[in-house]
Amino acid sequence: MQRSSTPFTPARRAVVIGLAVGAAISGSAFAQSGYPSRPIKIVVAFAAGGPNDVMARILAERLQSQLGQPVIVENKPGAGGTIGSELVAKSPADGYTLLFPSAPFVTAPALYGARLKYDTLKDITGIAKVAESPLVMMVPLASPYKSLQELVNTGKSKPNALNYGSGGVASTPHLATSLLEVSTGAQFQHVPYRGGGPAMQALAGGEINMLLDSVTTAGPQVSGGRVTALAVTGEKRSPKLPNVPTFAEAGFPKYEMTHWVGLAAPAQTPKDILDRLHKETIKAMGTPELRARFDQLGATPILASRDAFNSFLAQEVKTWTEVIKKANIQAD
């Protein structure tokens, strides 16, 4: 083959380098456009069978159909959800290990401080807020308290005279009731149990005075006539409990808390992969099939941007840091 006699000038060298860089970028983009090429894992930081796990599996099933690759839910419970979150934070940022966060994800910084081995907002980024469901304040069937206002009034006039259950320190019922205390000035006695199931059993048996938990978890107990619902959080009444007033209707318009779940990934995950996952999640949550399944759980699908979800996470960390400090909540 005859060699070219054209001199390799600086200008030509620049052209060659530019073509090489362009080829590398194109190759990278091509490689990422092939995502996903293998199974995706969604980590749920709590035990199987709970509301987070159930919703994660419903979403995973739909994403698997849309993406054409297996989407597997893996439960990594323990340490208030921090074990699962740490696993994702330290995983390769390639879109194949994701997190299904909920409220404990944003309370961890305040609860664990320096013991936390990852930075909640710097090491993990939100993909999409998947759904949220209201909380419901419940009392035993034989309770003399017929309204949320009566509970709060007693908690203010007789501090710690009433007790409330939870699934453990820093669980959603514990945090939600602490927020009610901080926002109203009432004081209640916390009785932690080893999980939400035992706490609900204690309420039904009259061992505790009240329980504030997700409609997703508590709806069947209320509908089944085992406990009495006094009020639900959220802007409007829950379709699962249409006869139960909202906190605003009960006289507490400033109380805001819901049980939410989302999808997140290691912070350095390429933007095009994050965008693809966001697009597919929004598509999944917008289908009539998934909306119906989430409605059955008492949860409402959320269709919002990645930026909106990450802003929400940042605000939640700030809010709960203040509440946890005021309520003097300490992790086990």
Backbone dihedral angles phi then psi of residue 45, each to the nearest 5 degrees: -80, 20
> Per residue in 204-219, pLDDT tens?
999 999 999 999 989 8
- Tokens 């092939």 label which residue? 34
* pLDDT average, residue stretch 61-78: 96
> Per residue in 219-258, pLDDT tens?
899 999 999 999 999 999 999 999 999 999 999 999 999 9
Percent of the chain predicted with pLDDT > 90: 81
Distance separating alpha carbons of residues 272 and 151, to the nearest angstrom: 50
pLDDT in the model for residue 267: 98
Least confident of 19-28, 43-52, 85-94, 121-130: 19-28
pLDDT in the model for residue 33: 62
Distance separating alpha carbons of residues 176 and 260, to the nearest angstrom: 13
Stronger pLDDT, 189 or 46, i.e. the higher one:
189
Percent of the chain predicted with pLDDT > 70: 90
- Could you give the C-alpha distances from 268 to 28, 46, 91, 126, in angstroms and in order? 15, 24, 10, 11
* pLDDT average, residue stretch 109-122: 96
Q: Is CATH 3.30.465.10 correct for 40-132+259-327?
A: no
Query: Residue 50: is its pLDDT beyond 90?
Result: no
Distance separating alpha carbons of residues 301 and 289, to the nearest angstrom: 11
> Per residue in 127-147, pLDDT tens?
999 999 999 999 999 999 999
Query: Residue 265: is its pLDDT beyond 60?
Result: yes
**Reported pTM:** 0.84
Q: Could you tell me how many residues make up the chain? A: 332
User: Confidence class of residue 170 from pLDDT cuts 50, 70 and 90?
Assistant: confident
Q: Where are the domains of the chain?
A: 40-132+259-327, 134-232
* pLDDT average, residue stretch 161-179: 92
Q: Which CATH superfamily is domain 134-232 in?
A: Periplasmic binding protein-like II (3.40.190.10)
What mean pLDDT, rounded, does the chain reach?
90
CATH topology agreement for domains 40-132+259-327 and 134-232: yes
> Per residue in 3-38, pLDDT tens?
344 444 544 444 444 444 444 443 334 344 699 999
How many other CB atoms are there within 10 angstroms of residue 163's CB atom? 14
User: Confidence class of residue 197 from pLDDT cuts 50, 70 and 90?
Assistant: confident
Cβ(60)–Cβ(3) below 8 Å: no
Query: Residue 194: is its pLDDT beyond 90?
Result: no
- Could you give the C-alpha distances from 293 to 127, 159, 285, 330, in angstroms and in order? 21, 41, 10, 36
Q: Is the peptide bond before 77 cis (omega within 30 degrees of 0)?
A: no
pLDDT in the model for residue 171: 86
Cβ(116)–Cβ(287) below 8 Å: no
